[in-house]
Amino acid sequence: MTSLLASSAFDSLRLDAVPDQEALRRAYALPSDAAVRKQTTELTDQARRLIGCSPLVLVASTDAEGNCDVSPRGGPAGFVAVLDAWTLAIPDATGNKRLDTLQNVVATGRAGLLFVIPGRTTTLRVNGRACVSTRPELLSQLTAVGKPPASALVLGVEEVYPHCPKSLLRSGAWKPEQWPPADVQPTSAEVTLAQLRMPELTIADIEQAEADSLKYRYE
């Protein structure tokens, strides 16, 4: 029922949606000169330092049909390797093995990254060409997540853009006093159980599976 309602709402709203880029631009003032000029095509020393402080990066990709995906990648700060001013390598730590992101990159050769640092309002966007590498000499360098990965996502930098802090300031993401109480949000296990739609499973089953996944996360 929820998906049907969402679909109906979308179908209604798209009837008078913004038709083209020119109409979209008319709805906004022009960007400032600084907002345009701070986009670069290589990693500065400061951008490298920021990446070295980030334990979390969000990876955006699309498949050959244009279907979008955003997936998180995490590890100790600096787990993303800066190979040079134009190249990054992200080890693929053991996850759900769906390979959504990696398959998209193989299909399109493109990816976008957003680096996040806990407690900081600075984020860094890096977009460019991408490939998946299983070259042993590269993987042997990428052990920050526990052991050499099965593969690495390699990004050839084409656009580097430091975002202003407004979104994180507005969200209060790093302010515990603004976080919702734990009892008003569903747990990971509750969300997963609802998604699976398998009556024979219980919350305890899902919680045990999640605990096992974390325990053996390097396998």
Does the domain at 38-170 match CATH 2.40.160.20? Answer given as no
- Which H or E element spans position 25? helix 21-26
On the question of pLDDT at 194 being above 90, the answer is yes
pLDDT-derived band at 8, boundaries 50, 70, 90: confident
Count the helices and strands in the chain (H runs, E runs): 9, 7
**Cβ-count burial 179-188 (b if 16+ within 10 Å, e if not):** eeeeeeeeee
Closest to 202 in 3D by CA, of 210, 212, 190: 190
Cα–Cα distance between 192 and 196 in angstroms, integer? 6
Coil, strand or helix at 55 = coil
Coil, strand or helix at 87 = strand
pLDDT-derived band at 80, boundaries 50, 70, 90: very high
- The answer to whether the predicted template modeling score (pTM) of the entire model surpasses 0.85 is yes
Residue 161 phi, psi (nearest 5)? -145, 115
- pLDDT, residue 1, reads 44
Q: What is the pLDDT of residues 105-126, one digit of tens each?
A: 999 999 999 999 999 999 999 9
**Cβ-count burial 11-37 (b if 16+ within 10 Å, e if not):** eeeeeeeeeeeeeeeeeeeeeeeeeee
pLDDT-derived band at 217, boundaries 50, 70, 90: low
**Which residues of the chain are in CATH 2.30.110.10 domains?**
38-170
Question: Residue 126 in contact with residue 184, Cβ under 8 Å?
Answer: no
pLDDT-derived band at 59, boundaries 50, 70, 90: very high
- pLDDT, residue 212, reads 84
Cα separations in angstroms, 75 against 20, 67, 109, 146: 40, 27, 24, 9
pLDDT-derived band at 216, boundaries 50, 70, 90: low
Mean residue pLDDT across the chain: 92
